Structure 1
Amino acid sequence: MKLRSLILGVLLGCLPLCALEPPAKAPLAMGADPVRDKNFFLLSSLERDPQASAAIGADSGLQELLHSKRTALLAADKACPANPSTAAECYAQPMQWTPAEIDQAAHALRALYAANPSLRVFTDTTLRRSGLYQKHQSSPGPDLLASAWRDCAQGLNRMLDLYALARKPRYAQIDSAAYDVKSASFAHLIQTAASLVVEDRLPASKLFYQPSLDFALQVLRIHRRDEAGRHEPLDLGENRATLARIRTIPWAKYPWTVIVVPGSGTESINVRLSPAGRMRCELAAKRYHDRKAPLILVSGGYVHPNQTPWAEAIEMKRFLIEELHIPADAILIDPHARHTTTNLRNAARLVYRYGIPFEEPALITTDEFQSASIEGPVFTARCMLELGYVPHRVTKRVSRFDLEFLPRIDSLQADNTEPLDP
C-alpha cells in the first residue's frame, strides 16, 4: 500500500505526506568532503543525483543565476584590488546571495518540483529522509525544497560573513577567523582562493550555486576550519565497533540507554584532557560498571583553546579505555560539539541515527555545577536562542551528578549559522 501511494503521488505531481518515511535511523551517507556535506547537504546531494542535477542544470532561471555568479567571480578575479582593507569584501560580497537571488532560486525550484518527477522523488526521499531540514519536515515537497535551499543560501552567506568579512561569530574566542581579514597576507590568500576556483572549478560549474559554494569552502579552508569534517565518517571509524554492538544490546536489562558526558576544554594547548573532563569520565565509568546503561557517549570537539589539536571526545575516550577500563565498543564519541547546547543536540542525533531506543530515557552525567545549569531556565533560553529549540527534555533529577532526559527529534535539523558544527 505504501509503494502504491508513493507511485500515485509521483504521477499526481506531489507525494502525500502520510506515505513518506520519517528521517532515516541510519548514519548519513557522505562523500569525500564531509564539511561540504554537513553544511550543505541539499547541494551535495543534488550533485550525486544525476537526474535531479540534470533538471536543475537545464532550468533557464537557474542558469541565469549561474551565469551571474560566474561572471561576478571572473570580474573579481581580474579587478579586485590588492589593498588589504578592501580585498576580502571585493571577492566575497559578489559570492553572497541577495534576498532577490534567493527568492529567484526558490521560485525556480518550486516550479521544477511541480514539473519534474525526478526532483520530486529526490525531495521526498533523499532530502526528507535526511532529517537535516527537520524544521521543514511537515511541509509539502515544494516548500521543503525551497526552504532547504534558503537554509543553504543563508549558510553560504554566514560562512563568508564570518571568514571573509570579519563578522564576529557568537563565540569569537573559539570560532573566529585564523587571519586578520584586512591583512596583506589574507588579501593574498583570498585572491589565490578565487583564482583557484576560477581555474579549477568554474569551467565545470553547471549548477547555479557552485561558484559561490566552491569559493566559500576555499575561504573556510584558509582558516583551517575543517572541524565539522574531522573523524567523519564516524560510523566507519571511531564509532564503528560500538555501532555493531548496539544491534545486540538487550536494552530492557538497563534503566537507561546511554550515559552522555559533555566535554570540558583545557586552558593550555599542552593539556590534552582537563581535570573536569577526567572527573566527568570517572563518574560515567562508575555508572557503566554499575550497569546503569550499556553505553557511554562522550561529546566535545576541538574547542579550547582556540585551534587546539585535541578533541575533548577523543581524549575522554582514550582515558575511559586506558585508565578506567571501559571496553572500546561501549563508547560512542561526538568530536564536533563546541558548546553544552550542541553536546546534547549531537548526542540526540547519534541516539537517533544509530538506532538506540529514542523514546527511552538516557542519562546526562557531569559535575554538579554543569548539571544544575543544564536543568535551569537560563540554559533552556540559551538553547532557544542558539538552536531555535531545546534538543532534550529533562524528565527528572537522579542524583547531584545525573539528569534523566529524553532526546528530541528537532535535533536532526542542520544549523546553518554554525559552519564548524552544523
Structure 2
Amino acid sequence: MQLSWVQIVRLGLVQMCLGAIVVLMTSTLNRLMVVELALPAMVPGLLVGLHYGVQITRPNWGFLSDRTGRRSRWILGGMAVLAAGGLMAAAALPLIEAQPVVGLGVSVLAYGLIGLGVGASGTSLLALLATATAPRRRAAAATITWLMMIFGIAVTATVAGRFLDPYSHARLLEVVGVIAAGAVALTALAIAGIEARVQARPEPGTLPFRQGLAEIWAEPRARAFTLFVFLSMTAYFMQELILEPYAGLVFGFTPGQTTSLSGAQNGGVFAGMVLVGIAATGLRLGSLRGWVIVGCLGSALALAGVALAAPLGLPLVPVVVGLGMFNGVFAVAAIGSMMQLAGEGRAAREGTRMGLWGAAQAIAAGFGGLLGATLADALRSVSPDATAFGATFLLEAGLFLLSALVAARVIGGAPAPAARLVPGE
C-alpha cells in the first residue's frame, strides 16, 4: 500500500519539526555567540560545520533502513537525539560566558548530537517517502514536505524572536526547551501507525555497505548529480552563519530582530517554493532545470543587493525576503529532481541514494557556512564590517552563477531506466 496524501502531510510534520529545532541552532545561537558573547564568527562556524560533518553518516542510515525497511525507529530516535543536542547547545552559552573551555566542550558534544539526530531522522524520513510514495506523487511529496519544513523554520524563527526579547540565557533555555519537547511529541504522533499500513521494501540479501554505496556511485547520473548538489549547496549555505551577525553589527538589529529577519527570509523561501509548485506542477510552466537556473540567477542578484544594502542605504529586510524567495525557487526544483532520481538506476537503493545526496548537501553546507564565516572574519580584520560582509556575499553570488552553469549541463536529459516498483504499487 502506498502513502496517501494525508500520510504524506503527516510525514511533512516531521520535516517541519526538524527545521524548527535546527533553525535555532544555526541562526539564533550563531548570532548570540558572535554578538552577545563577542566570539569570532569562526567559532559557531566550526560548530555548525561539525553538525554538518557528522551527517556524512547519512548513507549509513539510508543503507540500514534499506536493509530493514523499518524507518520509524530511526525517524523518532533521531528526533529525540536532535532535541537533546539542541537543549545542550543552548545550555552551553552561559557556560561559555563563565568557563569558556568547558562551555565550548559542551557545545562540541551538543552539535555532534544535532548532526547525528538530523542525519538519522531526516535520511530515514526521505527514504520512507521515496519507497512508499507512488512515482507520480514523488515530486509533489517532496514539495509538500519541504514547504512544511520551511513553514516550521519561518514560524519558529519569528515566534522565538518575539519571546527572546529582552534576551537572557534563562529565557533562551525556556524557548528551546518548549520547541524541542514539542518537536519530539509531534513526531511521535505524526508517524504513529504509518508503517503498519505502508510496507517499505527491505533490501534483500546481506550486501556490505561499501559495496552498496559503490554500486550507486558507479551510476553516472547519480554521481553527476552528487557533484551538482555539493557545488550548489556550498553557495546556498555560505550566508547562513553571517547574515544575522551582519544585520546586528552593520544595521544594529537586536537579537529578536535578527531572529525575525531569519523568519522573514524563510518566509520568502516558502513563497518561492509555492511559486514553483503552482507554476511547474499546476500550470506546467518550465522544466525543473529551468527553475533551478532561475533560482540560482535570482539568488545571485539578491545577494548582490544584500552586499550593497549598507553602502546604498537600502532596507535590508525586503532584500533578504527576495533572497529567500529565489533560494526557495532553486531548492524546490533541486529537491524535485532529487526525488525523481532517487527511484532511478539500480532497484532497492532509494535510501542509499538519498543518503549519498544528503551527505553531499551536509558536507557542502558545513563547508559553505565555515567558508563564509572564516572569510568574513579575515576581511573584518583589515576592512570595515560592511565591506567585509559585502565582499563575502558577492563571492557567494559568484558561486550561484557557477551553479547555474553546472545545472544547465547536469540536470535534464533522458532519464535512466526506472527502478522496479514495490509489489502492490
Q: Does TM-score exceed 0.5, indicating one fold?
A: no
Relative contact order, CA 8 A, sep 6+: which one is greater?
A: 2
Greater fraction helix: 2
Greater fraction strand: 1
What TM-score comes out, normalization by structure 2 length? 0.29
What TM-score comes out, normalization by structure 1 length? 0.29
Q: Which has the larger radius of gyration?
A: 1
